[in-house]
């Protein structure tokens, strides 16, 4: 029994059920009902042709066959040809209605399928956010794009819809089988003996090849996307180093491999079953006349057999072809099931707005230790420090001292291995994590600039109708961006270009500061905010930060250049993941001068 159920169709059904959520499973029952309706209309369309053929071949059957006599008497014509014409008109409209119904059902199925694609994309997006900072940072951009957009689309279009099509065609064939069995068993025997061995042989020949091609493509496609992202994101470095050929070759090589796989799948393995219809028909004709020769059937009986076979083959062969095509497609993209397993039948929580945590007195790192997953190297070792509300604190240290890890723990992007980070004596944990993050305004060395207007970048993550114009203008003023805005004809609606291509380094930093101020962050965290700036721009940014100290903000400045730290109440010196000393600005300057001398 297990072997009988181990086929592409039943495997696809099980796989789809493992991916869908409860609501989608309920809706899939409606799709199954529509499949049955579609199959009935398909078979009914074929069945209407047979009376017309019988009436044409045997005019007497109009009076003897009940399925002809009833409509003949109802129409009330005396002429046989006129009756056949009217019958052909009826059949024409039956075909029109059948196909309209089929198109409507296909539309409902497609809408259902693409709705699933959308929900899977949304769940994959949430999955990435749920996995956290390290997971997102360590996953290539091409892979993230592939997982969130492409894989759900492939599942919807090439897996789910193909399974629905396969189910429809299987149902149609079963009904045709039953009908032929009662109409002309000999035709059914010929169909089974001729068509199934040929198509089964082709399927067995191609299934492993087409699956291997799908698996290879699944590995290569994210690589092609990543190669493309790298070449565009590093455009300036590529041009300056004259390395266009290197990045072009990387992209071209992967793309060529993908195209070669697609050519083999679409040109060979995906087409073999479509090119053997005439072979099957030839074999069937041989079978029919061999049957007539062996059993010495009369010409009329052979003709009747040919008629039934011809009508059956008219719908039978396309169905078998579509079944073959769907089965091979399911094999080719079976990898999507493994890619979707992390979100299979999983309920993701909605993103919620949280209340900002109130900080009354201080933030304390209390014997904090951290090592990255899978590593035995401890980056922070019993780190302890205290930052009081309204203070400006500096963090210095050589490369590898633990400054970046300290920042990521402060931002709650990483969770300490041991020890605690406390706010007013209360540890920061999963319950209040997001509330604490809402208090922080983070100004990075290279501030992220969205491809949009200055207004969109300052009021980051808010729709235009949500923006508080008074708060926006105040943030721009306090970040010393007012002159920059006033000197542009579009004002706050000025476009900033892809990743701020139209901005200077100082303007980029001030936009980051304005973003933090618009957020009304209680803590301003600067990460090497002036390290990439020229001395003149650095002075201007330092003046901006000094202006911020008057706003009663808690400010933490991580810096290489000690000249950035003049306004600090105290400066922590990190070494090997621990606090090596606590100094005033004058003490740090004297220490630097002594090292130089």
DSSP 384-444: EEEEETT-EEEEEE-TTSSHHHHHHHHTTSS--SEEEEEETTEEP-TTTHHHHHTTEEEE-
Query: Could you report the per-residue pLDDT of 96-122, keeping only the tens digit for each?
Result: 888 898 899 888 988 998 999 999 999
pLDDT higher for 6 or 119? Answer: 119
Output DSSP code: residue 139.
S
Q: What gap in Å lies between CA 127 and CA 29, rounded to an integer?
A: 27
- Identify the H or E element spanning 362: strand 362-370
**Is 184's pLDDT higher than 90?**
no
CB 194 within 8 Å of CB 284: yes
Q: Nearest-5° angle of CA 411, CA 414, CA 417?
A: 125
pLDDT higher for 233 or 338? Answer: 338
The arithmetic mean of pLDDT across residues 321-335, rounded, is: 85
Name which of 396, 397, 399, 402 is nearest 383 in CA terms.
402
**Is 5's pLDDT higher than 60?**
no
Residue 428: pLDDT band (50, 70, 90) is very high
Name which of 519, 357, 351 is nearest 427 in CA terms.
357
Query: Could you report the per-residue pLDDT of 17-29, keeping only the tens digit for each?
Result: 888 888 888 888 8
Angle between helices 185-233 and 244-264 (to 10 degrees): 180
CB 198 within 8 Å of CB 51: no
Q: What gap in Å lies between CA 248 and CA 346, rounded to an integer?
A: 40
Q: Nearest-5° angle of CA 528, CA 532, CA 534?
A: 120
The arithmetic mean of pLDDT across residues 263-287, rounded, is: 73
CB 357 within 8 Å of CB 439: yes
Q: What is the pTM of this model?
A: 0.79
Residues forming a β-bridge with 427: 422
**Is 235's pLDDT higher than 80?**
no
Maximum alpha-carbon separation in the chain: 122
Instruction: Report the side by side order of strands in the sheet with 570-575.
Output: 440-443, 523-527, 554-558, 392-397, 570-575, 578-583
Structural domains of the chain, ranges and CATH numbers in brackets: 8-343 (1.20.1560.10), 362-596 (3.40.50.300)
**Is 227's pLDDT higher than 90?**
no
Name which of 32, 30, 16 is nearest 160 in CA terms.
16
- Mean pLDDT score across all residues of the chain: 83
Q: What gap in Å lies between CA 476 and CA 518, rounded to an integer?
A: 8
Torsion angle in degrees (nearest 10) through CA of 449, 453, 459, 462: -100
Q: Strands, DSSP E only, in 454-569?
A: 523-527, 554-558
Tell me the percentage of the chain whose pLDDT exceeds 90.
23
Residue 354: pLDDT band (50, 70, 90) is confident
Q: What is the pLDDT of residue 4?
A: 47
Q: What is the pLDDT of residue 328?
A: 85
């Amino acid at each position: 029994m297990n072997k009988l159920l181990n086929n592409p169709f039943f495997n696809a059904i099980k796989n789809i059920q493992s991916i869908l959520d409860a609501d989608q499973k309920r809706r899939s029952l409606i799709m199954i009902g529509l499949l049955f309706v579609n199959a009935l209309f398909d078979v009914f369309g074929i069945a209407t042709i047979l009376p017309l053929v019988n009436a044409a071949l045997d005019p007497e059957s109009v009076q003897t066959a009940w399925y002809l006599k009833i409509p003949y008497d109802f129409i009330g014509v005396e002429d046989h040809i006129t009756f056949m014409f009217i019958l052909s008109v009826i059949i024409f409209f039956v075909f029109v209605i059948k196909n309209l119904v089929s198109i409507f059902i296909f539309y409902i199925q497609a809408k259902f399928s693409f709705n699933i694609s959308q929900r899977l994309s949304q769940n994959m997006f949430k999955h990435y956010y749920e996995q956290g900072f390290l997971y997102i940072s360590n996953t290539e951009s091409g892979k993230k794009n592939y997982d969130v957009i492409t894989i759900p689309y492939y599942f919807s279009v090439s897996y789910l819809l193909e399974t629905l099509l396969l189910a429809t065609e299987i149902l149609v064939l079963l009904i045709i089988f039953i009908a032929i069995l009662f109409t002309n068993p000999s035709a059914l025997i010929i169909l089974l003996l001729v068509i199934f061995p040929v198509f089964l042989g082709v399927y067995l020949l191609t299934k492993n090849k087409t699956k291997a091609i799908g698996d290879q493509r699944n590995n290569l496609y994210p690589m092609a996307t990543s190669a493309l992202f790298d070449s565009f994101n590093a455009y300036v470095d590529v041009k300056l180093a004259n390395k266009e050929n290197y990045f072009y070759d990387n992209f071209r090589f992967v793309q060529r491999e993908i195209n070669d796989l697609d050519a083999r799948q679409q040109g060979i393995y995906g087409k073999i079953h479509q090119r053997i219809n005439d072979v099957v028909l030839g074999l069937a004709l041989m079978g029919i006349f061999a049957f007539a020769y062996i059993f010495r059937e009369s010409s009329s009986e052979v003709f009747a057999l040919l008629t039934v076979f011809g009508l059956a083959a008219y719908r039978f062969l396309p169905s078998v072809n579509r079944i073959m095509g769907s089965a091979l497609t399911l094999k080719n993209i079976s990898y999507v099931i493994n890619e979707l397993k992390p979100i299979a039948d999983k309920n993701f929580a909605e993103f919620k707005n949280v209340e900002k945590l109130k900080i009354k007195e201080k933030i304390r790192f209390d014997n904090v230790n951290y090592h990255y997953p899978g590593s035995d190297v401890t980056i922070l070792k019993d780190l302890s420090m205290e930052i009081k509300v309204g203070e400006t604190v500096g963090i210095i240290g050589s490369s590898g001292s633990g400054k970046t890890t300290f920042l990521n723990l402060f931002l709650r992007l990483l969770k300490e291995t041991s020890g605690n980070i406390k706010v007013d004596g209360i540890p920061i944990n999963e319950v209040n994590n997001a509330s604490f993050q809402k208090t922080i305004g983070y100004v990075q060395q290279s501030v992220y600039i969205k491809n949009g207007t200055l207004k969109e970048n300052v009021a980051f993550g808010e729709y235009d109708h949500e923006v508080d114009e008074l708060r926006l203008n105040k943030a721009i003023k306090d970040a010393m961006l007012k002159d920059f805005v006033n000197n542009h004809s579009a004002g706050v609606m000025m476009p900033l270009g892809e990743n701020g291509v139209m901005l200077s380094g100082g303007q980029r930093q001030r936009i980051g500061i304005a973003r933090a101020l618009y957020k009304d962050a209680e803590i301003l965290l600067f990460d090497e905010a002036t390290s990439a700036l020229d001395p003149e721009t650095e002075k201007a940014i330092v003046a901006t930060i000094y202006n911020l100290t008057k706003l009663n903000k808690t400010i933490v400045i991580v810096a290489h250049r000690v000249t950035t730290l003049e306004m600090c109440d105290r400066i922590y010196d990190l070494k090997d993941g621990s606090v090596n000393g606590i100094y005033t600005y004058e003490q740090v300057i004297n220490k630097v001068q002594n090292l130089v001398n």
